[in-house]
Amino acid sequence: MKKLLYLSLGVIALCNSHITGQRNSKVDFSIFFSHMVHPITSPRTNLKYSFHEYYTNASIRYQVKRKLYIGAEYNHIILTGEQFANPYYTSGLFVDYDLLKHRNMALTPRIGLAIGNLVLSNIDIALKKNVKYYSGGISFDCKAYRKLWLYTGFYNQILTKKIIHSFSIWQPFIGVRIKFN
């Protein structure tokens, strides 16, 4: 688990060295915010209530080939309510492939592997437990101004090992990407 975290930090450091070391680098940085509301009916008490999930994601990626990127990301997660052991996190490595490769747009599926400490559950709502996730999703980027791009999409993180009554982390999002090339 620590190896993946150190590898993520290494990819971030490598990409950062390309930003500062090259005039025409192939690196971009992105940040997005996601907010979700979950209506819940407690199986123990049959009471209805809701809780909120707030995700802030920062990622950096490097263009390996014309359409292929590798990168690292960090997700900071806050859940509303006194019963939650905030903050939660996920951190991982990913591969993006740009299907369009247009000057002003990009459609990019993603696959990756992540570690974290959030397990969403039908019974306990959220457990703080060290786990690994498979991650995937798709994003759409649209050039807004020079190096600033808007991007939206959804990402999903699925536990690598089955935990009873757990479900995946699903994030629709909107954010910005800064391209340094």
Picking from 39, 35, 55, 59, the residue whose alpha carbon sits closest to that of residue 47 is 39
Q: What is the pTM of this model?
A: 0.79
Mean pLDDT by 10 residues, the chain (181 residues): 55 51 71 86 72 93 94 94 88 95 91 94 79 96 93 93 83 91 69
pLDDT number for residue 125: 74
In the chain the domains, ranked by start, together with CATH numbers, are 2-179 (2.40.160.20)
Query: Token pair for residue 157?
Result: 């993180």
pLDDT number for residue 24: 52
Picking from 93, 91, 105, the residue whose alpha carbon sits closest to that of residue 139 is 105
